[in-house]
Amino acid sequence: MIPFFIVSDSRNVYDNQALEEYLFDNVEDDQVILYMWQNDNTVVIGKNQNAYKECNLAAMEERQINLARRISGGGAVFHDKGNLNFTFIAHKRNYDTKRQFEIIIAALSRFGINAEMRGRNDLLVDGRKISGSAFCRRGDRCLHHGTILMSSDLDILTEVLNVDKQKLILKGVDSVRSRVANLNEFDPYITAVRIITDLIVLFGATIKGRVSELAMPSDNQLKPYRDRFSSEEWIMGRNFDSDLAAYKRFHWGEIDCRVKLNEGIIADAIIYSDALNEQLIAAVTKSLIGRNFETSEPLLPLQTDTDNSLLHDIGGFLLAENFTVIEKSVESLPDETEEAEEIEQIEEISDQGVGE
């Protein structure tokens, strides 16, 4: 393994997303990359989320806050200059989420801050969330990115994010504001520069190699990525006129499934979800197309006695009896840029455990 780092000096979310995906697409077999970046005044939603539901778009427009959609699953987050983002990129044989989290925890310990893992993707200090992560996998390439709250404006965060009350109940808190914390509450002198420096040092020490800085790609190399991430088509998604809907929140996230019927057959479908495994959600969505909605059988043509709890829960819930008629409305989800796995591969995807 050869460790590399790169730090973006842009505060534009679309520039930073472009660089991240470029690195993801071009990581070499023996490279492990640590990418660090900051956005200013931005809400970033998960790949499978509904922007109209997750964000207070009116408040965002008034405050001139950008909206972006990432390539990984998970929930919506608010970025400002008080937040630092990190990304680890590697081929699967060099990819280790436990090691990557330990690097973040070790860096924070240098400030006398004792962070701990909670669940699959959160870091907590004194029971409050200071970091959340999401994951993505394409073939043998893996990506783990996340946030580190240093001095973010939590009042704005609370204003622009619409958090499901059921989610707060499951987390055992009354509000988003009470659930999260900034690191400057524990060390008032903490800065992005200090964290970045410690992350680079500990990254090299953990990988046991000399860390080299990656050269910045050219504007021409990044332009196709930037154009896609900044496009309305990607951010807001395709128009979808749905007939029926079914919603449920599980311990791992929500399922909001919308379908359009043609003579009893599912002609189109969308699943909005904050599940971390965005690949599985995409594959399940595709598997619904062409299914007979009027059958008494599960709409998901899979065995539901799987060990994977997410797949088991979805398969057990997607029954015609759980759908209700909705008024005609326009919903959105981005067109898939990666072809979803065929239905016989869904269980394989579900076992990968990747995808916030």
In the predicted model, what is the mean pLDDT of the chain?
Answer: 87
For 34-72, how does the pLDDT look when each residue is reduced to its tens digit (9 = 90+)? 999 999 999 999 999 999 999 999 999 999 999 999 999
Please provide the CATH number assigned to the domain covering 2-234. 3.30.930.10
Helix, strand, coil fractions of the chain, as percent rounded to 5: 35, 30, 35
Locate 228 and state its tokens.
């896609």
Is residue 170 predicted with pLDDT exceeding 60? no
Q: Which region among 111-120, 190-199, 300-309 has the lowest average model confidence (pLDDT)?
A: 300-309
Locate 251 and state its tokens.
């311990």
**pLDDT > 90 in the chain, percent:** 73
Distance from C-alpha of 48 to C-alpha of 5, rounded to nearest angstrom? 29
What average pLDDT does this structure show over 167-192? 72
Q: Which region among 3-7, 73-77, 211-215, 349-353 has the lowest average model confidence (pLDDT)?
A: 349-353
H or E element that contains 18: helix 13-26
First to last CA, the chain: 26
What average pLDDT does this structure show over 327-353? 50
DSSP 8-state class, residue 334:
P
Q: Which pLDDT score is estimated for 328?
A: 58
What average pLDDT does this structure show over 296-318? 73
Q: Same fold for the domain at 2-234 and the one at 237-350?
A: no
Is residue 296 predicted with pLDDT exceeding 80? no
pLDDT confidence bin for 208, thresholds 50/70/90 = confident
**pLDDT > 70 in the chain, percent:** 85
pLDDT confidence bin for 304, thresholds 50/70/90 = very low
How many CB atoms lie under 10 A from the CB of residue 341? 18
Distance from C-alpha of 85 to C-alpha of 259, rounded to nearest angstrom? 35
Task: Please check whether residue 51 is in contact with residue 237, taking contact to mean a CB–CB distance below 8 angstroms.
Answer: yes
Amino acid identity at 255: I
How many CB atoms lie under 10 A from the CB of residue 282? 24
The domain 237-350 having CATH identifier 1.10.3470: the answer here is no
Task: Please check whether residue 68 is in contact with residue 18, taking contact to mean a CB–CB distance below 8 angstroms.
Answer: no
Q: What's the whole-model pTM score? A: 0.87
Residues with Cβ < 8 Å from 349, sequence gap 6 or more?
277, 279, 280, 283, 341
Q: Which pLDDT score is estimated for 209?
A: 84
Q: What angle do CA 96, 70, 14 make, to 5 degrees?
A: 115
Locate 160 and state its tokens.
């622009």
The domain ranges of the chain are 2-234, 237-350
